[in-house]
Every structure is written in C-alpha cells, then in structure tokens.
Amino acid sequence: MPGLVEGKAALVTGGASGIGRACALVLAREGARVMVSDLDAAEGEMTAAVIREAGGAAEFQHADVSSESDVVELVGAAVTRFGRLDCAVNNAGITGQGGAVQDLSLEDWNRTLSVNLTGVFLCMKHELPVMQRQGAGAIVNMASGAGVLAVPGLSPYCASKHAVLGLTKTAAVENAKTGVRINAVCPGSTDTPMLRQAMSVSPQLEKMILSSMPGGRLGTPEEIAEAAVFLCSDRASFVTGESMLVDGGSVAR
C-alpha cells in the first residue's frame, strides 16, 4: 500500500537527532522525499544518509532557523531539489537556560525565543507562500507539553512553546481557505539526547519527570513522529489549528 505521504516533498528542521531525526525517517518511510536541516551538519548529513541507504530520497541543508537568510536558502533548496514543498515539520528548538524569572539574563531569554518562536515564524513565513501557490500543503510546528502547562525554572522555554500554539492557531485560521493546514504537536517527556543530557545533570529532575508520566516511561521520538506525519498526510485533511498532545496522559493526570 502507498505510504501516508507517498510522493510528497517534505522539510524537517532540527533533523539531526531526537524527534527531528525520527520525523525525517518516518516521512521517508511513508514515501516522502525529505530535506533535512540542522545546525549540526555531521549528524544532519547522517540522517539524510540513513534515508538514502534505506532507498529513500533525502538531502541535507545547514541552517540556523533564527536567521531569515538561512531559512530563505533552506526553503529555496527544498523547492529547487524537489520541485515543490508539500509538508514541513518545524521542529528545531532548544531548552535554553534554566532559572527563576528574576535570575535570567535578557540574552538567555532572547536566545531561547529566537530559536523556538522566531524560528517557527520564519519557517512558516517562507513555507506558506510556496504552499499557497500550490493550493495545498501541511505544516506541523513542534510545541511541547510546556505549551499548555507551567514549567517552573524554564520560563523562556515555556513561554516560547505557549506562543508557538498561538502562532499555529492564527496561521491555521488565516489559511483555512488556501488549502494549507497548520497544526502543532505537543510532545510529553521524550527520550531524546537533549532530555537525557538534562536528566544526567540532575537525578532529581529525572525522578520528577518520570513521576509525572502515568505510564511510568518516557515517550520515544518515533511515537512523536508518527503523530506529526499523520498531520502532514491527507488522512488529516480536515484537521487544522489543532494542538495535539502526544504525552502518555501526563497533562490529563
């Protein structure tokens, strides 16, 4: 049977590891040609190579999503390589500096928002015109459970992910008649290198995170990717403006 996104051209930011890499691999498995992007060129190239070795089509483009010129080049490279852009997973993000609000520097605040929020804005700004001209397309912005709940000690991250949901909903309504759908996925605590690094520094954090998971385990990047690829597919043709929690019930507890 044809894959969920058979023949489509896809773009994934933050595709060097974790959820981004999983999204790229699942998109390719389901039949898409994939442009992988990340700041980490070596691991981003590895993601593309894994797809090609499995018989898929993939390219890598180095990009900093907080730089508009990089995003313009990235979207242009995807269109040049594949002739169109059918779906995009705007996944690139950072945890940023932790600490109480009054202890954070403006530099730390701005850095987190520049990647997590402005990066999503810039990607959509340049993906949308391509999809609007085609009369069809699907964008998935990677938010977080921290987009619907407070996360003490991570206010820049939490604020950025809340804002991504508002941006997603607004863009979805603006594009309701253009044929372009925009949704967000809100992962719960997921077994990624970024989270593992944070937990290795603080056993207390690991204990807190696992205690918040009703099923007693972290999610896998592949479980998050499956939701994102569904939203990219025509199976989700009447889904737009949605913020999909994929968190093992942690918000519902």
Residues assigned a catalytic role = 157
Q: How many Cβ atoms from other residues are within 10 Å of residue 180's Cβ?
A: 24
Q: Do 21 and 190 contact (CB within 8 A), yes or no?
A: no
The Cα 244–Cα 241 span in angstroms is 10
State the number of CA atoms in the 13 A half-sphere of 84 facing the CB. 14
Question: b or e along 21-46 (b: 16 or more beta carbons within 10 Å of the residue's beta carbon)?
Answer: bbbbbbbbbbbbbbbbbbbeeebbbb
The Cα 226–Cα 19 span in angstroms is 10
The CA distances from residue 91 to 120, 157, 178, 250, in Å, are 8, 14, 23, 21
The Cα 4–Cα 19 span in angstroms is 18
Q: Do 190 and 18 contact (CB within 8 A), yes or no?
A: yes
